A = this chain, B = another copy of it.
Amino acid sequence: MSAAPARAERAGLAPAAARALFRDGLVTPTSGFSDGHAQANLIVVPRDWAFDVLLFAQRNPKPCPVLGVLDAGEVEGPLLPGGDVRTDVPLYTVYEHGEAAGTRTDLLDVWRDDLVTFALGCSFTFEAALQEAGIPVAHLEQGVNVPMYRTSVECTPAGRLSGPLVVSMRPVPASRVADAVRITSRYPAVHGAPVHVGAPEELGIRDLAAPDFGDPVGIPAGHVPVFWACGVTPQAAVLASGVPFALGHAPGHMLVTDAPNWQYQVP
C-alpha cells in the first residue's frame, strides 16, 4: 500500500497520479485530492439494468447527475484516460440481491464484461466554490466525511428501480444561505441547488447526529442545516429494489476524474 500524501500534496496531484495511488492500494476518502477536478460517484450494473439506471438518473437529476457512462465491459474513458475503473477508486461496495455484500479495494475478481459503469457528479465540486465565497464547509474544517442521510422522500421510480432520496448536509450561517443556494445552483451537474433548507424532520431525519453514511458534524450556533441531493442515492435504490448484482464506490471514496470543475458551471 502507498503512503498517504500530505494535505498540500493531495491538492496538487494530477488526477491520473491520484488514481495511480489508489490503484496501488491507498485507501482514504478522496476529499482534498486534485483540486479543480471533478470527483464522481459510481454505480455499476449489468447491461440488462442499464436503461433502468439511466432512466432513474434522468427522472432524478438532482441526486443522479450523470457525468459519463462507459459501455458494457469498458473500464476506461474520457473521465479517466489511461485509467481503470476497476482499480482506481480507493474503496468499492458490492451489492447482491439488494443487500450490501461488503467492500473491496478493487473489482478485478468480480468484474464481468456485461457491466455498465455510470459516473455521477459529486458535491465536492461545489464545496470548492462555497469555500472561495467564504462559506465555511463544516466537515472539511472538522476533517471528517460529509454526513449523509436516507430520507423519507421517495425518488421518482424508473422501470424496476425505486428508492429513497439520500441527502448530504452542510451547516451554513443563516446570513449566507441565500449565497449557498445561488452558488450551488450554478453547478447542476454536481447536484445543484439544495433540495431542503432547515426542518430535517420534514425529510424524515430524526437525529442529525446519526447519519446513515459518513460522519456527524456539529451545527454551530446561527447555522442552518442545508441539504443537497447525494450521489449515493442510486446505491440506495439498488438496495431497495433487489438488484441482483451491482457495484459502487464506498461513500466519500470517489473516482477522481480528469474533468475540470469549471466545465460544469453555468452562469
Using a CB–CB distance below 8 Å, which chain A residues touch chain B? 50-51, 54-55, 58-59, 66, 69, 71, 159, 182, 185-186, 188, 192-193, 266-267
> With A and B bound together, what is the CA distance between A50 and B51 in angstroms?
7
Residue among B50, B58, B69, B267 making CB contact with A267, cutoff 8 Å: B267
B54 touches A266 (CB 8 A): no
A181 to chain B, nearest CB (A): 8
| Minimum C-beta distance from A185 to chain B (A) | 5
Question: How far is A267 from B192 in the complex, measured between Cα atoms in Å?
Answer: 10
With a cutoff of 8 Å between Cβ atoms, the chain B residues found around residue A55 in the complex are 54, 69
Chain B residue with Cβ nearest A54: B54
Distance, CA A229 to CA B188, complexed state (A): 19
| Chain B: CB-nearest residue to A193 | B266
Q: A182, B267: Cβ atoms under 8 Å?
A: yes
Contacts of A185 in B (CB 8 A): 266-267
Task: Give chain B nearest CB distance to A66 CB in angstroms.
Answer: 5
Find A58's partner among B54, B59, B182, B188 (CB 8 Å cutoff).
B54
Q: How far is the CB of A57 from chain B (nearest CB, A)?
A: 8
Cα–Cα, bound, A185→B265 (Å)? 9
Question: Is B51 a contact partner of A266 (Cβ separation < 8 A)?
Answer: no
The smallest C-beta distance from A155 to any residue of chain B, in angstroms, reads 14
> Nearest chain-B residue to A78 (Cβ)?
B156
From B50, B71, B159, B192, contact of A266 by CB (8 A) = B192
